[in-house]
């Protein structure tokens, strides 16, 4: 019975993260934010380490740290002397180095580090689940409420600005929501694989349709189905849940790519 | 009232003067063509009119207010940017693109209601692309994209329409067709048009007034006066002789082709 409850929590958590990452993935693909996603997820290591050092919940510290790093990247990227990928490279390595340095200063953190690198889906508590669902619902509402404006900015930033849209604020909002999504995903599939959930289902969906409604629906469905299937595989074959989830999503991508090659 | 009024407007970009002492007015219902060679500051002039770049000195009034202070009425000024193509894979239909222009500036929740869809469809019909409404925007021809952007700019109660090189990349028949459409809409709705182009020949046949700039203001008048003025020679310098020879021919072509 106990075993059943924790499997159920893991399933709900994985599906919620799959849905949320599928939704944000739409904008990650549309706005070419994939590398920013990598930067944010890797910088979460620094946030986790700070949390462990200070004795606060590493997810909270990772969330705060990831948002700060994401906004930092966004701010520095507006300096047009450098390209975005160079700036992300700087932030990513800096935040990771900070994390590794802090972890190395005290013994016994390696186990925790491992949990965040690869996720710990099977240790999701009732509280974790409640926090995750609340966060996901909030982020989904924010994205839904600004969806058409964000789409407008993606289509033509200049015209959106001319019509009084607050483009910089919308971009910053998207980055913050992305950072929080990444942190939610880090808890489940880990730093190394959360990027896959942001990119792969949305990329797969983009192969099938040019209608954003269908793309979002398909991306979210693929995220959820990959999460559930991967989790089932991890139970059935006793393999890592994060890796199994990502491999299911990637398999769906390549299957779609083969099927849609001529389209 | 003037639709737009520039008074001794100077603008710097990155510390470099791009426009100096530009003054002109656009009467309501007029079609003002802004011409000048490449790099003359034409796009900057439009961006200043839209409130997208700050002025260093001088003042601008658009529809009775300073640029960028129209709040929810910002879309009373419609904007067709310089744009030759759309990413092939942009995930939205033609109707969605037009709806962006309507919904994002309209209504508290920015929701697309049935009435908004109706308006978008009728706008597309009027512009002659109703049959494309459900096609992906990335799969249209250059001329079709230009019409979609026009519909996006006009899909609310637009009073002033600002266009930046709207016919770049179009062949001559498509260009004439676009300007014909523009003038029909202007006439039917009584809107004011400000249109920028480096192509003097194209604009001279369309505009009711022309201004020629090359960082500074060179001339303001009706197309006939501008085309034959010495100031134009100054602005375009060596390009002028080539242009002058082409104008007579082009005028005939325009009037023959537009109807």
Residue A148 has its nearest CB partner, among B50, B93, B104, at B104
Beta-carbon contacts of residue A137 (< 8 Å; ≥ 6 apart)? none
Query: Exposure of B84 by Cβ count < 10 A (0-12 exposed, 13-18 middle, 19+ buried)?
Result: exposed
pLDDT interval class at A78 (50, 70, 90): confident
pLDDT interval class at A186 (50, 70, 90): confident
Q: Note whether A142 contacts B: Cβ–Cβ < 8 A.
A: no
Q: Note whether A145 contacts B: Cβ–Cβ < 8 A.
A: yes
User: pTM for this structure?
Assistant: 0.88
Q: Note whether A149 contacts B: Cβ–Cβ < 8 A.
A: yes
pLDDT interval class at A18 (50, 70, 90): very high
Domains of chain A: 2-258 (1.10.3470.10)
Shortest Cα distance, chain B CAs vs residue A130, angstroms: 28
Residue A212 has its nearest CB partner, among B71, B79, B92, at B92
pLDDT of residue B237: 54
Q: How far apart are CA A135 and CA A140, in angstroms?
A: 9
Q: Which ipTM value was assigned to this complex?
A: 0.86
Asked if A164's CB is within 8 angstroms of B79's CB, the reply is no
Q: A107-156 pLDDT, tens per residue?
A: 666 777 777 778 888 778 898 899 999 999 999 999 999 998 999 999 99
pLDDT interval class at A206 (50, 70, 90): very high
Asked if A164's CB is within 8 angstroms of B96's CB, the reply is no
pLDDT of residue B106: 58
**Nearest Cα residue to B67 out of B192, B164, B196, B160:** B160
At residue A257, does pLDDT exceed 50? yes
Shortest Cα distance, chain B CAs vs residue A162, angstroms: 6
Domains of chain B: 2-257 (3.40.50.300)
Asked if A211's CB is within 8 angstroms of B92's CB, the reply is yes
Asked if A149's CB is within 8 angstroms of B92's CB, the reply is no
- Nearest Cα residue in chain B from A146: B110
Mutate to test the interface with B, among A31, A155, A219 (most CBs of B within 10 A): A155
Q: B194-227 pLDDT, tens per residue?
A: 999 887 877 888 888 889 888 887 777 777 777 7
The size of the A-B interface in CB pairs under 8 A is 75
- Nearest Cα residue in chain B from A156: B81
pLDDT interval class at A99 (50, 70, 90): confident
Q: A20-51 pLDDT, tens per residue?
A: 999 999 999 999 998 989 999 988 888 988 88
User: Strand, coil or helix: what is B159?
Assistant: coil
Q: Note whether A130 contacts B: Cβ–Cβ < 8 A.
A: no
Asked if A151's CB is within 8 angstroms of B112's CB, the reply is no
Q: Which tokens is A256 given? A: 């779609």
Asked if A209's CB is within 8 angstroms of B90's CB, the reply is no
Q: Note whether A210 contacts B: Cβ–Cβ < 8 A.
A: yes
Query: Exposure of B183 by Cβ count < 10 A (0-12 exposed, 13-18 middle, 19+ buried)?
Result: middle
pLDDT of residue A263: 60
Mutate to test the interface with A, among B91, B151, B196 (most CBs of A within 10 A): B91
Q: Give me the residues of chain B with pLDDT under 70, please.
A: 84, 104-110, 230-259
> Chain B contacts of A31, Cβ < 8 Å?
none
Q: How far is CA A243 from CA A188, B31, B119, in A?
A: 11, 62, 49
Q: Note whether A54 contacts B: Cβ–Cβ < 8 A.
A: no
Rounded to 10°, the helix A34-54/A110-118 angle is 150
Residue A158 has its nearest CB partner, among B81, B92, B99, at B81
Asked if A161's CB is within 8 angstroms of B91's CB, the reply is no
Shortest Cα distance, chain B CAs vs residue A210, angstroms: 4
Shortest Cα distance, chain B CAs vs residue A145, angstroms: 7
Q: How far apart are CA A143 and CA A28, in angstroms?
A: 13
Q: A212-227 pLDDT, tens per residue?
A: 999 999 999 999 999 9
Beta-carbon contacts of residue B165 (< 8 Å; ≥ 6 apart)? B82, B196, B197, B198
**CA-angle at A102, arms to A98 and A103, nearest 5°:** 115
pLDDT of residue B234: 65
Q: Are A47 and A180 within 8 A, CB to CB? A: no
Q: Which tokens is A260 given? A: 């849609």
Q: How far apart are CA A33 and CA A75, in angstroms?
A: 15
Shortest Cα distance, chain B CAs vs residue A223, angstroms: 19
């Amino acid at each position: 019975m106990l075993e059943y409850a924790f499997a159920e929590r893991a399933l709900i958590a994985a599906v919620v993260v799959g849905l949320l990452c599928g939704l944000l993935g739409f904008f990650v693909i549309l706005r070419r934010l994939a590398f920013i996603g990598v930067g944010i997820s890797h910088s979460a290591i620094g946030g986790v380490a700070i949390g462990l050092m200070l004795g606060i919940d590493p997810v909270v510290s990772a969330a705060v740290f990831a948002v700060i790093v994401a906004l930092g990247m966004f701010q520095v990227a507006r300096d047009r002397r450098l390209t975005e990928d160079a700036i992300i490279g700087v932030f990513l390595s800096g935040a990771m180095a900070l994390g590794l340095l802090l972890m190395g200063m005290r013994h016994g953190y390696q186990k925790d580090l491992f949990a965040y690198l690869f996720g710990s889906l099977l240790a999701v508590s009732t509280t974790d689940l409640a926090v995750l669902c609340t966060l996901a619902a909030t982020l989904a509402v924010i994205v839904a409420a600004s969806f058409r404006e964000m789409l407008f900015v993606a289509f033509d930033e200049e015209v959106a600005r001319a019509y009084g849209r607050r483009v910089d604020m919308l971009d910053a909002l998207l980055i913050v929501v992305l950072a929080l999504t990444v942190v939610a995903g880090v808890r489940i599939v880990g730093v190394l694989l959360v990027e896959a959930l942001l990119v792969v289902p949305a990329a797969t969906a983009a192969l099938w349709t040019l209608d954003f409604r269908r793309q979002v629906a398909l991306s979210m469905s693929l995220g959820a189905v990959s999460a559930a299937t991967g989790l089932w595989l991890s139970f059935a074959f006793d393999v890592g849940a994060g890796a199994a989830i990502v491999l299911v999503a990637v398999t769906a991508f390549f299957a779609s790519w083969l099927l849609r090659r001529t389209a | 009232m003037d639709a737009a009024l520039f008074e001794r407007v100077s603008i710097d970009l990155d510390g470099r003067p791009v426009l100096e002492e530009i003054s002109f007015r656009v009467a309501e219902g007029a079609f003002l063509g802004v011409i000048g060679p490449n790099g003359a500051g034409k796009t900057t002039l439009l961006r200043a009119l839209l409130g997208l770049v700050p002025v260093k000195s001088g003042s601008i009034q658009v529809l009775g207010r300073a640029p960028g202070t129209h709040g929810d009425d910002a879309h009373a000024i419609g904007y067709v940017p310089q744009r030759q193509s759309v990413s092939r894979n942009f995930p939205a239909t033609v109707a969605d693109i037009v709806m962006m222009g309507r919904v994002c500036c309209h209504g508290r929740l920015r929701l697309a209601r049935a009435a908004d869809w109706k308006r978008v469809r009728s706008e597309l019909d009027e512009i002659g692309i109703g049959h494309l409404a459900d096609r992906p925007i990335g799969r249209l021809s250059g001329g079709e994209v230009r019409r979609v952007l026009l519909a996006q700019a006009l899909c609310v109660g637009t009073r002033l329409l600002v266009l930046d090189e709207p016919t770049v990349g179009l062949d001559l028949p498509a260009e004439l067709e676009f300007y014909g459409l523009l003038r029909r809409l202007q006439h039917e709705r009584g809107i004011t048009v400000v249109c920028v182009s480096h192509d003097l020949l194209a604009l001279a046949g369309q505009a009711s007034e022309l201004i020629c700039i090359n960082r500074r203001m060179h001339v303001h008048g009706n197309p006939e006066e501008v085309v034959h003025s010495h100031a134009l020679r100054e602005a375009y310098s060596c390009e002028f002789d080539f242009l002058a020879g082409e104008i007579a021919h082009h005028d005939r072509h325009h009037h023959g082709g537009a109807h």
